[in-house]
Amino acid sequence: MYIIKKIVYIASLITVLILATGFNAVGAQYSVGSGNDDWWTTYPTQSPGFGSDVKHPQWVLDALANKPVVVYIHKGCDYCKPQTDAMAEVVKEYGDKFTYYDIPGDGSDARAGPALQAYDPTGGVTYVPMTIIVTLAPDSNGKVQPIWHSTEEVTGKAWIEDYVKDAISYYGSNSANGKN
């Protein structure tokens, strides 16, 4: 009987430890926070708007009701090409698991401006290519809400794939818990 009580006690401690370390989604590589690599609920530490709320474009929130969202804003320039090619590979492999918006960064699509303004991780002048990934996860109070990560850098396929897999994992674990 003593051994059973000890096993139950240890199992309880392990469970509390896992929950206390921010275990949000099975297989999630990046946690929700404000650091450079985190998923963000507000503007991250590198932004002049640090800690303030993000005004998600309505078309992103509408799409998020069904799947994670990936927005790629770019020009047809040589600088964007490696990211464009990497994005095409990720879309080919995982595209049925997220809603994808391929938006020209030349001003011809009205969605570009609001998305660039909302999701620029550093504030100030916005550059392309801008890769934006939005999904769902609980905030610090346990309320499921949109989380996002973005970059203006050419990151390559591995970076995009890691965040897309995370987005799919978070969404699968949290979409039934609440909608945007």
pTM attached to this predicted model: 0.82
Spell out the domain ranges in the chain. Answer: 28-174
Which pairing describes strands 144-151 and 99-104: parallel, antiparallel, or unpaired? unpaired
CB atoms near residue 142 (< 10 Å): 8
pLDDT of residue 123: 84
Closest-CA residue to 166 (of 17, 49, 24, 11): 24
How far is the C-alpha of 113 from the C-alpha of 121, rounded, in Å? 14
Q: Decide which of 3.90.1010.10, 3.30.420.40, 3.40.30.10, 3.30.360.10 is the CATH code for 28-174.
A: 3.40.30.10
pLDDT, tens digit (0-9, with 9 covering 90-100), for 75-85: 999 999 999 99
Query: 16-53: per-residue pLDDT in tens?
Result: 334 333 444 556 788 898 889 999 999 998 888 888 99
Amino acid at 58: Q
pLDDT under 50: residue ranges of the chain? 11, 13-24, 178-180
Per DSSP, which regions of the chain are E strands? Answer: 69-74, 99-104, 130-138, 144-151
pLDDT of 115: 96
